[in-house]
Amino acid sequence: MQGKKHYQEKLFTNFQLSDRVPADNIYRKLKEILDLQFLYVATAKYYGKDGQKSIDPIVFFKLLLVGYLENQPSDRRIINMASMRLDILYFIGYDVDEELPWHSTLSRTRQLYDEDIFNQLFKQVLKQCIDKGMLTGKRQAIDSVYVKANAAMDSIKEKAILDDALAFTSQLKEDKSDNDSPQHPDQPGVAPQKRSNANRVSTTDPDARMSVKPGKITRLNYLSQLSVDTSSYIITSIGAYHADKKDCQCLDSVLDTIDNNLKEYGLAAEEIIADTNYSSSSVLESLISRGINGYIPNTGTYKQEREGFTYDSENDRYICDQGNTLKFIGYKNHHGVSKTYMSKRSDCKNCPVRTQCIGTSTYKTLTNSLKRPLFDEMHQRMNANYGSK
């Protein structure tokens, strides 16, 4: 016989959330294992003793976790979703008839806490993973990603010039003719400065920086650096940097953070994996001083042997395929101190491969960084069986 469901809302009912959330539900499991009681002590300094009670710090961070797990970046959507999900209500400790916090409360509380609170929470979760034997700490993979700032490109303005500096310059030039006095960059006839982070700043988010990926448009971003343990893919460190910094400039700070997060649990990173953007002489020197084996591909400009040229280490010179010599002529400050080698014009004048080798020049030059042995060692390590894997 065909069934037909009739619904009439009850005024009173016997209902328990715990009976409605399945045993294998992720939020039920999180509620059982995630101990956040330390947050009451850690956040006590942000609150006074009078006035209305704020949102419970544990509830606040649990709602942020819900937003991450449900891929909801909007505070309004997080609250709306929580109001309709029994498992989320059970996780944050609210009953079906309790009013949830306003979405604006999440925004204000996020601005109230400083970075230290979020770091403490991160370390507590990491500790629980370590206690369960989920990571070894031995090998860390590091990478970066741009995170879009909450600021529009329209907010970018030219950095203001100090008024007193302009006044002082004007006084020094007052006895000269109008034609001799310097024009302000905004005056007609003066080419505007190329837009860059050096001369532009966002009025709504001064810490954001202009950056761009190949094939993408320029945006205001932050640079996030993240490391994961390769044995379990658990995040071991994360941090935000200015987006105009290079990855290689951030690596030392990332390694410090990894060390601080792991050493108190008796773990230490022994190997680092990163892409070629992290390759630099300072990075390779830092890894050696820390006793860490790095696996970082050298930049595209590196070649173990210059194509068509062989290095004679005994005499510190290069010999080309045609038998001509490039002698060491001195040092040059080129992205760090480099050694320069140059051929004789007479040797190159009648060389059969001159056009392919030097084009319209009259001689051949090669430069080698003084740190080249570090890159040679990395090249050998990356091409070994272990490094290739």
Question: What are the helix and strand counts (H, E) for the chain?
Answer: 15, 13
Query: What pLDDT was estimated at residue 384?
Result: 93
Per-position DSSP letters for 118-145, written without gaps between them: HHHHHHHHHHHHHHTT----SEEEEEEE
Least confident of 90-94, 313-317, 332-336: 332-336
For residue 316, how far is the Cα from the chain centroid? 40
For 306-336, letters b (16+ CB in 10 Å) and e give eeebebeeeeeebebeeebebeeeeeeeeee
* Pairing outcome for strands 234-242 and 219-229: antiparallel
Range from 8-22, 199-213, 293-307 that averages highest in pLDDT: 199-213
Query: What pLDDT was estimated at residue 182?
Result: 45
Range from 190-199, 234-243, 300-309 that averages highest in pLDDT: 234-243
pTM of the model: 0.74
Per-position DSSP letters for 279-309, written without gaps between them: --HHHHHHHHHHT-EEE-PPPTT--SS-TTE
Q: pLDDT (tens digit, 9 = 90+) per residue, 277-306?
A: 999 989 999 999 999 999 999 987 676 567
- Residue appearing with tokens 């959507």: 77
Is the separation of the CB atoms in 292 and 310 below 8 Å? no
Token representation of residue 256: 């410090």
For the chain, domains (ranges, CATH) are 17-113 (no CATH), 123-150+218-295 (3.30.420.10), 309-371 (no CATH)
Alpha helices in 182-332 (DSSP H): 247-263, 281-290
Instruction: Give the contacts of 135 (CB within 8 A, at least 6 positions apart).
Output: 129, 229, 231, 232, 234, 236, 267
Query: What pLDDT was estimated at residue 181?
Result: 44
